Chains A and B, each alone.
Chain A
Amino acid sequence: MRYFLPLINILIFLLLAPLFEGLLRKLTARIQSRQGPPLVQPYYDLFKLLGKESLNSAGTWPFRLAPLLAFAAILVVVAAVPFGFRMNALAGRMDGILVVYLLTLGGVAVLMGALAGRNTFGMIGASREMVTMIMVEPVLAMTLVLGAVKLKTLTLAAAMPSAAGAGFGLSSVLMLAVYLLALQAFVARQPFDIAEAEVELLEGPMIEYSGPNLALFKYAAMMKRMFYAWLFVSAFVPVLRTGIYPLDLVLQLLAMVVLFAGIGLVGATNPRLRIDQAVRYYAVLIVWALAAVGLAVKGW
Chain B
Amino acid sequence: MNVTLKIWRQPDAASEGAIHTYEVADVSPDMSFLEMLDVLNEQLNDRGEEPVAFESDCREGICGNCGLMINGEAHGPEVTTTCQLHMRSFTDGDTITVEPWRADAFPVLKDLVVDRGALDRMIQAGGYISVNTGSAPEAHSVPVPKDDADRAFNVATCIGCGACVAACPNGSASLFLGAKVTHLGLLPQGQPERDERVVNMVAQHDHEGFGGCTNIGACTAACPKEIPLDVISQLNKDLRTAIKHGH
A binds B: no
